[in-house]
Amino acid sequence: MDESELPFESVSGLRLAAVAAGIRYQGRDDLAVFELRTGSQCAAAFTRNAFCAAPVALAKRHLASATPRYLLVNAGNANAGTGRAGLDDARSSCEALAGLAGCRPEEVLPFSTGVIGEPLPVARMTAALPGALERLEPGAWPAAARAIMTTDRVPKLVSRRFELDGRLATLTGIAKGAGMICPDLATMLAFLATDATVAPGPLQACLKGALEGSFNAITIDGDTSTNDASVLVATGALGNPPIQDAAGGALSALQAAVESVCQELATAIVRDGEGATKLVRVAVEEARTREEARRVAYTVAHSPLVKTALFASDPNWGRILAAVGRAGIPDVDIERVRIHLDRVLIVESGGRSAGYTEEAGAAVMVKPEIPIRIALGRGSARAEVLTCDLSYDYVRINAEYRT
């Protein structure tokens, strides 16, 4: 899809630019800059990977000491596993942008994605920054969405308009990710912005609430990145009465919009999974707790045997049954467990359903979207996880990633 074909809405109070810095890729943009209106508020969530990348560590420090004015994002180099030198490089890139933009280095948040363990080519980034600042404009969302891609096949860009205190507000977001996807707290890289006026507390609560049912409910390969980060910016350009309370209709309207955008971006990431050919929804019902339901859903979603059967369109239902059984749910009564492929009942009363046929299972498995529904028969809690199949191309893409 050409950039001109990506539908979006500009967000008043925010300008963007994308440029080619030659960080790893040649002949494409790989550096994005976001300029935030003075007075903008910024909420964020980051990976819980113990080997968090240098830009993650530095962005946390900067958020704690200043209100961000710029976001600096590079693709092709993760600046993770780079020790003290990586922190120095991340800091140098922030200082370079701050010097050109006339702000403090702490007002710049750095983000990186790409190969782990390689030094960040700061000189290439700083050389590209003047051109980026010259190109800042409100409509560069599609270019930014492409610039932050690594193994992604398509850019991810979503916009919503919603009513807020009698005004028409805008929310636009981009995300990247196709592999090393199993978010823990945050997401691959996602940047959302609204023109609404929102206080820091409600803004952070809004982002946290949206992540739970979107980016934190997907998996491609079970790997949590060192660089995961998600950001929600509120520029305040709309001029609405500030949202300062965690309750009320205004926050509810914003929350609904943010959740909708995050869910659409998360689904786009799974659809674009490295080598993926199928989108799979694993829903677990009738669990005692939501945590229990999520545990079963992720066990099925992470199973290489289940994922390869999905790729082969093979209704090998025994792999799903085995994954449910090893999820570590105490005292599960297998006689009460029921498993469906879409609407086809495949398992009940401890084994294969009497009415199940291989033909019915095969008819579901050839579809591009496959629902797997598991009822544990022990409560009312529910959870859903999005995943994809595991194909030959996933192995090829990752085997060749650094070549």
Active site residues: 187
Contacts of 380 (CB under 8 A, 6+ apart): 286
Contacts of 184 (CB under 8 A, 6+ apart): 47, 48, 49, 216, 224, 228
> For every residue of 255-280, which 3-state class applies, written as one string?
HHHHHHHHHHHHHHHHHCCCCCCCEE
Distance of CA 382 to the CA centre of its chain: 22
30, two tokens: 């790989």
Q: How far apart are CA 327 and CA 350, in angstroms?
A: 16
Q: How far apart are CA 40 and CA 191, in angstroms?
A: 14
335, two tokens: 């006689």
Beta-bridged to residue 338, according to DSSP, are 375
Cβ atoms 42, 233 nearer than 8 A:
yes
End-to-end CA distance of the chain: 26
Q: How far apart are CA 227 and CA 54, in angstroms?
A: 8
Cβ atoms 234, 199 nearer than 8 A:
no
Cβ atoms 112, 73 nearer than 8 A:
yes
CA 202, 203, 204, 207 dihedral sign is positive
Q: How far apart are CA 264 and CA 174, in angstroms?
A: 10
CA 61, 178, 373, 324 dihedral sign is negative
Beta-bridged to residue 76, according to DSSP, are 114
Amino acid at 402: R
